[in-house]
A = this chain, B = another copy of it.
Amino acid sequence: MSGTNSERELIAEGPAIILVEPQLGENIGMVARAMANFGLAELRLVSPRDGWPNEKARSAASKADHVIDGAVVFETLEDATRDLNFVYATTARERYGFKPVRSPVYAASTLREKFRAGEKTGILFGRERWGLSNEEVALADEIVTFPVNPAFASLNIAQAVLLMSYDWMKSGMDDIEETRFQPIEQRPSTKDQVFGMFEQIEEALDARGYFHPPEKKPKMIDNLRAVLSRRSFSEQEVSVFRGVIKSLDAFPRQWPRKTTPRQKKADVTEETEGNGGDE
């Protein structure tokens, strides 16, 4: 699940991630890694406990060096937000106040709008132990909170940053269901190709006495075709399927072999080589 590629576009824009008094270097590093995955690059640290730079942060960042190298330290949260136009505070605890409370999806789309309008924005994340103080939340414009399991709300800061960064990335996609790569393109088969497959299968089955008793044959064909065509085939699939039938139909039709449920693999191999038939 890992890999950087310098020939591909490095996305590095969007809101500043502001960590208030982060304690563990590992967490700062995981935050940087989370940001880089989803195209964020501006990391601000308010009074990190263990100082800065921090080697543990760099190593946990898993090569998100552009985020670590660009991180800026501030003494106070006010200093860290002076140049910003709009700031969200993240919190897991219910806060009593008048500030609007938003979901991450709503917040991400608001941040994207402001980004496109040229505003500078930021998202505040609190300390590992107890998050943001009420005074810190008061410095933000709005609150964002995650839709977690009511009985198990336990996101660490790197996880919270990952989720916000992810929703930020998605807010910039034209189609939220687009993916970076696609399956090999397949042309849908024509009905004629499907009919050809039906005929091949039915002829091979007929030769083996599958349609028994004969008066049930029309109904059995109906059922068989219904099963085979419940989902539409691609040309490639019709081709694979016809190859399978051809192979199964390759040995003599005249001497049906008596199969048993416990027949061994070795027998099957022999038979497909045309030697078998009756034991």
Q: A149-B37, A151-B6 are in contact. Are A102 and B163 (CB under 8 A)?
A: no
**A147 on interface, CB distance cutoff 8 Å:** yes
Of the stretches A173-181, A202-210, A252-260, A264-272, the one at the interface is: A173-181
Residue of B nearest to A109 (CB): B177
Query: Beyond A150-B8, A151-B5, A153-B3, is A183–B100 a contact (Cβ under 8 Å)?
Result: yes
Q: Is the CB of A1 within 8 A of B157?
A: yes
B163 near A147 with CB under 8 A, answer: no
Q: Which of A74-82, A90-98, A212-220, A221-229 contacts B (4 or more CB under 8 A)?
A: A90-98
Could you tell me the distance between the alpha carbons of A9 and B63 in the complex, rounded to whole angstroms? 40
* Smallest CB separation, A19 vs chain B (Å): 12
Q: Chain B residues near A150 (CB, 8 Å)?
A: 5, 8-11, 180
A160 within 8 A of B: yes
The A interface is mostly helix, strand or loop, or mixed, namely loop
Contact (A4, B183) CB under 8 Å given A105-B170, A163-B163: no
* B149 contacts A36, C-beta separation under 8 Å: yes
A200 at the interface (CB under 8 A from B): no
Q: Once the chains are docked, how many angstroms separate the CA of A162 from the CA of B148?
A: 11
Shortest Cβ distance from residue A170 to the other chain B in the assembled complex, whole angstroms: 6
> Which residue of B34, B103, B157 contacts A179 across the interface (Cβ within 8 Å)?
B103
Mask of A151-175 contacts with B, CB within 8 angstroms, 1/0:
1111111011011001001100100
Report chain B residues within 8 Å CB of A105: 170, 176-177
Is B177 a contact partner of A37 (Cβ separation < 8 A)?
no
How many copies of this protein are present in the complex?
A: 2
Contact A152 B10 (CB under 8 A): yes
Contact A36:B152 (CB < 8 A) given known A2-B92, A169-B147, A173-B147: yes
- Given known pairs A1-B126, A152-B36, A157-B1, the reply for A98 and B9 (CB within 8 Å) is no
Contact A9 B151 (CB under 8 A): yes
- Complex A-B: 23 CB contacts under 8 Å: A1-B131, A2-B155, A2-B156, A3-B154, A9-B151, A34-B159, A36-B149, A37-B146, A37-B159, A39-B149, A63-B152, A94-B180, A95-B181, A97-B183, A98-B237, A99-B183, A103-B177, A103-B179, A106-B177, A143-B183, A145-B179, A146-B166, A148-B180
Interface residue ranges, A against B (CB under 8 Å): 1-11, 33-34, 36-39, 62-64, 90-103, 105-106, 126, 128, 131, 143, 145-157, 159-160, 162-163, 166, 169-170, 173, 176-184, 186, 234, 236-237
